[in-house]
Structure 1
């Protein structure tokens, strides 16, 4: 059990997503975000994390969900992802963060193959936690556009 993968579970709308704990640097309360001119909608801007400018993306918008206003539960999950030219730090705005946990089973189910137009490429797999589905995100793929822009 000690060597089972651990995940940070993240809530967006009514869905539960998970990020490998090895990618998570820290979890921050919501704070002012400096907007960037002509940035894509999902790129909210940058925040200061100990002297470094960290881009923040909205997980809702990346996943094709409607935007939502911040609440007392809104968090920024600071992640280390692999960009095209090495590690990149990116913040992910989420409606809430639940816990660090293991999933009910070590094995993940593959994303469903439902349509030729939808590949599920940013999904590492589908797991379960306490009987509920948890979508484990492939953060390197999900955030590759932001990481590429950051590395440029």
Structure 2
């Protein structure tokens, strides 16, 4: 059995909010969840790159998913969290932090409760959406975190973090 099949069979997702919408990532992509901490800004980086944090001696880039998705920047509140994710980049794994307005819970979603991503025409890329989950009459956008950023974007983010 391949690792990807094994991962999908777990059907567990960490849910979080961005601009009052619920999103989720597979628990296997999540390394940990942190309370918001000071993020050191890195000059001349892409807008969605908010900066870097020190995670037990490692420099981890922090991404604002709201900016990446064309929303307003994340405002720091008592609920703002950093979801530390492991993202595949050219055969290796890069650790990145993603800002979330709030982290909700780990849920189980059976495959029959997940619809494929909507086709919204050719101008909008929905490749980074694994599917739309439905739980208790609410929709949850399930992200394929390995497709949210292009390889070039992640490589640039990783290089900036290493330069620190």
Q: What TM-score do you get using the length of structure 2 for normalisation?
A: 0.85
What's the Cα RMSD here? 1.4
Secondary structure of 1:60's partner?
helix
* TM-aligned CA deviation for residue 151 of structure 1: 4.5
1:124 aligns with 130
Secondary structure of 1:56's partner?
strand
* TM-aligned CA deviation for residue 34 of structure 1: 0.8
1:99 aligns with 105
Contact 1:33 1:46 in 2 (8 A): yes
- Map 1:7-26 onto structure 2 (within 5 A): 7-26=13-32
> 4+ residue stretches of structure 1 with deviation over 4 A?
none
Q: Which runs of 5+ in 1 are unaligned?
A: none
1:6 alignment partner, one of 5, 12, 17? 12
* TM-aligned CA deviation for residue 68 of structure 1: 3.4
1:90 alignment partner, one of 77, 93, 96? 96
1:27 alignment partner, one of 28, 33, 44? 33
1:70 partnered with 2:76: yes
Q: What TM-score do you get using the length of structure 1 for normalisation?
A: 0.92
Q: Deviations over 1:43-100 (max 9, x none)?
A: 0010001100000000111111111320000000000110124100000001000001
1:135 partnered with 2:141: yes
1:148 alignment partner, one of 147, 150, 155? 155
Q: Deviations over 1:84-136 (max 9, x none)?
A: 24100000001000001112x32421111122101201111111122210000
Contact 1:84 1:147 in 2 (8 A): no
